[in-house]
């Protein structure tokens, strides 16, 4: 499967990391539609991490947003609405649990899926990993990391098959003694498996066709391929490195994910916290935060740029960064959207 979308014309409207926040999502969507109808924007791009609110369940609209994006894509076309995979979507494809400190992100969404499960998981499995533009701006969820910045790994990721990895895990699972595996991998007695499978993956007992998905997730997480896949979606970029070294990693990354005619010079990402909505990293990366990762959140930004305009350094994109929030507009639209579906 082709995991890259190449854009050769039009204006791209880019937002990142909404993490289940309904009102910011609606602001982005409606603003894009306004611009689209005026002929000022052509492609809406989400840079992943739509899922998983950090707050209480009643404020987490992850499923409602994802469903709305799926509808919007069906209405406008997959060339108009692009959602990239992020590290908060990826675990759900594999039944892997994601947590940070005390926060367990994945169970809430697994339980919310219900009758939507097969459509949503199929949608997540089909998501692209990156966008390249003719002007040289590449978009992806996280940043550059040495482990995925080789031609071999790039070739593997750009045509990635989730099904192949799942099939490999199923093959290994069938070879194992399940009780031993439960004890060794999950560190529980087999009698406790039912409740754990329910808790993490909403699996309803031994008759559920997904009964062993929790175990399979553990197997996937221990495959060497998983680590490289995860590195692409979750990495810390320049943190812990000298900026000179990170710049080299970044340039290598951009080089190996380029093709002739689609030479990429600048990387646009979300994923990490940013003061006032955006930051330039190592001259070649623009880190954008539309809501969750912006400090303060109301300083969140989107990017609106002509994909044909040649871009050489991240600062070339600065004139195209716009604030998402005008507080008066926020108050007005908050009262307009009181009937949102709850996730
Ligand atoms: Mn992320």
Q: Quick one: pLDDT at residue 333?
A: 53
Total of domains in the chain: 1
Other beta carbons less than 10 A from residue 233's beta carbon: 23
Q: Quick one: pLDDT at residue 326?
A: 64
Other beta carbons less than 10 A from residue 123's beta carbon: 17
CATH classification at residue 282? 3.60.21.10
242 C-alpha vs ligand 1 centroid, how far in Å?
Answer: 22
14 C-alpha vs ligand 1 centroid, how far in Å?
Answer: 15
Residue 128 in domain: yes
Q: Quick one: pLDDT at residue 176?
A: 86
Q: Which among 130, 147, 143 is positioned nearest to 288, based on CA atoms?
A: 143
Residue 72 in domain: yes
> pLDDT 10s digit of each residue in the chain, 343 long?
899 999 999 999 999 999 999 999 999 999 999 999 999 999 999 999 999 999 899 999 999 999 999 999 999 999 999 999 999 999 999 999 999 988 899 999 999 999 999 999 999 999 999 999 999 999 999 999 999 999 999 999 999 999 999 999 999 999 989 999 999 999 999 999 999 999 999 999 999 999 999 999 999 999 999 999 999 999 999 999 999 999 999 999 999 999 999 999 999 999 999 999 999 999 999 999 999 999 999 999 999 999 999 999 999 999 999 998 764 455 455 544 444 444 3
Residue 91 in domain: yes
Q: Quick one: pLDDT at residue 339?
A: 40
- Residues 11-29 have pLDDT tens digits of 999 999 999 999 999 999 9
Q: What is the pTM of this model?
A: 0.93
Residue 327 in domain: yes
- Residues contacting 278, CB < 8 A, separation 6+: 286, 287, 288, 289, 301, 321
Q: Quick one: pLDDT at residue 197?
A: 97
Full residue range of the structural domain in which residue 37 is found: 4-159+237-336
DSSP three-state, residue 131: strand
152 C-alpha vs ligand 1 centroid, how far in Å?
Answer: 24
168 C-alpha vs ligand 1 centroid, how far in Å?
Answer: 26
Q: How far apart are CA 291 and CA 94, in angstroms?
A: 27
Q: How far apart are CA 76 and CA 234, in angstroms?
A: 30
Task: Answer whether 310's CB lies under 8 Å from 135's CB.
Answer: yes
Q: Which two tokens stand for residue 236?
A: 């810390």
290 C-alpha vs ligand 1 centroid, how far in Å?
Answer: 13
198 C-alpha vs ligand 1 centroid, how far in Å?
Answer: 26
Backbone angles phi, psi at 237, to 5 degrees: 50, -120
**Angle, CA of 181, 176 and 221, to the nearest 5°:** 60
Q: Quick one: pLDDT at residue 341?
A: 41
49 C-alpha vs ligand 1 centroid, how far in Å?
Answer: 6
- Residues 105-125 have pLDDT tens digits of 999 999 999 999 999 999 999
Residue 211 in domain: no
67 C-alpha vs ligand 1 centroid, how far in Å?
Answer: 20
235 C-alpha vs ligand 1 centroid, how far in Å?
Answer: 9
24 C-alpha vs ligand 1 centroid, how far in Å?
Answer: 17
201 C-alpha vs ligand 1 centroid, how far in Å?
Answer: 21
47 C-alpha vs ligand 1 centroid, how far in Å?
Answer: 9
Q: Quick one: pLDDT at residue 195?
A: 97
Q: Quick one: pLDDT at residue 342?
A: 40
Q: Quick one: pLDDT at residue 330?
A: 52
Residue 210 in domain: no
38 C-alpha vs ligand 1 centroid, how far in Å?
Answer: 32
Residue 185 in domain: no
Residue 341 in domain: no
Q: Quick one: pLDDT at residue 329?
A: 57
């Amino acid at each position: 499967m082709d995991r890259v979308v190449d854009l050769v014309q039009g204006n791209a409207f880019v937002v990142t990391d909404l993490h289940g926040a309904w009102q910011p999502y609606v602001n982005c969507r409606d603003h894009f539609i306004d611009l689209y109808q005026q002929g000022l924007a052509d492609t809406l791009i989400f840079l992943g991490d739509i899922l998983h609110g950090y707050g209480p369940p009643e404020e987490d609209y992850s499923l409602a947003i994802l469903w709305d994006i799926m509808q919007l894509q069906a209405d406008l076309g997959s060339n108009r609405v692009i959602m990239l995979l992020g590290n908060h979507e990826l675990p759900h494809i594999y039944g892997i649990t994601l947590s940070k400190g005390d926060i367990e992100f994945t169970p809430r969404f697994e339980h919310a899926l219900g009758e939507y499960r097969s459509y949503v998981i199929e949608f997540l499995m089909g998501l692209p990993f990156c966008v390249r533009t003719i002007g040289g701006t590449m978009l992806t969820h996280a940043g550059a990391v040495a482990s995925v910045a080789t031609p071999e790994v790039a070739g593997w990721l750009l045509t990635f098959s989730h099904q192949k990895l799942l099939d490999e895990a199923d093959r290994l699972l069938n070879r194992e003694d399940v009780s031993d595996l439960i004890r060794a991998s999950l560190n529980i007695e087999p009698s406790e498996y039912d409740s754990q499978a329910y808790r993490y993956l909403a699996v309803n007992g031994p008759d559920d066709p997904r009964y062993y998905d929790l175990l399979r997730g553990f197997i996937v997480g221990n495959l060497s391929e998983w680590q490289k896949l995860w590195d692409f979606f979750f990495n810390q970029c320049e943190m812990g490195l000298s900026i000179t070294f990170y710049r080299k990693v970044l340039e290598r990354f951009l080089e190996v994910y380029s093709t002739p005619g689609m030479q990429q010079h600048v990387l646009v990402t979300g994923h990490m916290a940013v003061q006032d909505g955006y930051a330039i990293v190592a001259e070649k990366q623009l880190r954008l935060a539309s809501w969750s990762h912006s400090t303060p959140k109301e300083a969140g930004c989107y990017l609106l740029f002509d994909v044909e305009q040649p871009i050489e350094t991240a600062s070339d994109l600065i004139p195209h960064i716009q604030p998402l929030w005008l507080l008066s507009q926020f108050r007005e639209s908050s009262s307009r959207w009181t009937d949102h579906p709850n996730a």
